[in-house]
Amino acid sequence: MCKKSLLVLFASLSLFTFSCKKDTEPTPIKPVNTISNFGEVTSAVVIVNPIINKGSTTTVTTGSQRADVAIQAANLPAVTTDITGLAVVQALPTGAVPLKFPTGNINLNVVNEKELYDVVVAVKENGVQEVISAIRYPIGGNVIVLSPGQSISQAASVDNAIIFLQEGVYPGDVEVRGTGVLIFGAWSPVDGQLSVIDGNLTVMGGSARVRGIKVSQKITASANSFSAAFCNFNNANITGNSNSLIRNSFTGSQITVPSSNAVLVDNTGIL
């Protein structure tokens, strides 16, 4: 594993966020500069009271407040959400970590050090609920670092592969055949996704996760327990059960997203 490259790349990551309206789909805004050294510090990205997109099968409803919601993890200093309901908690301990909100708590199970988690919650006057079970990104482990010209498909044919894409354009088409594969992209606080698959991405392995990548043509995901977060997709055909879509942007005209046992929050370009 190229540790020096990971230090530089993870330290430059940021998060792309959306402003939200209750009666319409969210409108994209520029990324906020919430830089975090993912892969070196155990972290959680917390999203409070997201818009739940149509097609979601969750029964959870969200509250109205998104900005300035206080979050305290264990005995760490509290952080507050930005105007889009997003906050980053760093230096988490391992084990069952309580996340304390103004009206209640949830526990985050942190498996190992240096991992990243996406946590999506509804915070209301009568308590706190998870909208989506926390998504785990074990990027502190044995990471395969790829640069443009190297084969994503080859790396993603192995079960439980953890793949980091350096900045650049990767020729498609790309296939993910392994089970439990994670593909994690490079990021700019100004330009968003810097790791681009120029072509189609087809996900056939179950429990695959993609985060922070751009797919120029079509993403097809037919396996169960697929998750995508903070990605930019063109056309899409995402089926299967138990899928999670978090703050992705869809720009194409042919978009099919899950309608069975799936949760979609803060996505743009879909109803």
DSSP assignments along 173-204, one per residue: -EEE-STT-EEEE-EETTTEE-EEEES-EEE-
**Domain tally for the chain?**
2
| 28 lies in the same domain as 106 | yes
How many Cα atoms within 13 Å fall on the side-chain side of residue 55? 23
The residue from 100, 121, 137 where one domain ends is 137
Please indicate, yes or no, if residue 270 is contained in any of the structural domains: no
Domain that residue 42 falls in: 3-137
Contact 17, 86 (CB under 8 A): yes
Q: pLDDT digit string (tens) for 1-14?
A: 443 334 333 333 33
Please indicate, yes or no, if residue 184 is contained in any of the structural domains: yes
Sign, CA dihedral 48-53-57-59, equals positive
Please indicate, yes or no, if residue 55 is contained in any of the structural domains: yes
Please indicate, yes or no, if residue 132 is contained in any of the structural domains: yes
By DSSP bridging, strand 243-246 and strand 262-265 are parallel
| 9 lies in the same domain as 119 | yes
| 68 lies in the same domain as 153 | no
pLDDT at 172: 86
Please indicate, yes or no, if residue 216 is contained in any of the structural domains: yes
| 116 lies in the same domain as 217 | no
DSSP assignments along 130-180, one per residue: EEEEEEEE-TTSSEEEE-TTS-HHHHTTSTT-EEEEPSEEEES-EEE-STT
Q: pLDDT digit string (tens) for 166-220?
A: 999 999 899 999 999 999 999 877 788 999 999 999 999 999 999 999 999 999 9
Please indicate, yes or no, if residue 23 is contained in any of the structural domains: yes
Please indicate, yes or no, if residue 7 is contained in any of the structural domains: yes
